Amino acid sequence: MGTLKRLAPGREPQPQPDAENALDRSTRLLGEDHAYLVIDTTDLDKMLVEHAVRLDGAAMEYALSLSCRDEAELLLDRMWAQLDGEIRASNKDAKEAAIKALITLSPKIQTQQNLLARWKFLTRSWEGRVNSHKDRRYTLLETSRRETLLYRETNAVRSETTARTDDSAAGYRRQGS
In a domain, 172, yes or no: no
In a domain, 106, yes or no: yes
The count of structural domains within the chain is 1
Output the tens digit of pLDDT for each of the chain's 177 residues.
344 444 444 544 455 557 678 888 888 888 888 777 777 777 777 888 788 888 888 999 999 999 999 999 999 999 999 999 999 998 888 899 999 999 999 999 999 999 999 999 999 999 999 998 888 888 888 887 887 777 777 776 666 666 555 555 555 555 555
In a domain, 163, yes or no: no
User: Could you tell me which of 129, 106, 112 has the C-alpha nearest to residue 19?
Assistant: 112
In a domain, 149, yes or no: no
Q: Cβ atoms within 10 A of the Cβ of 110, count?
A: 12
Q: Cβ atoms within 10 A of the Cβ of 134, count?
A: 13
Domain hosting 83: range is: 18-139
In a domain, 11, yes or no: no
In a domain, 7, yes or no: no
Buried b (16+ CB within 10 A) or exposed e, 12-32: bbebbeebeebbeebeebbee
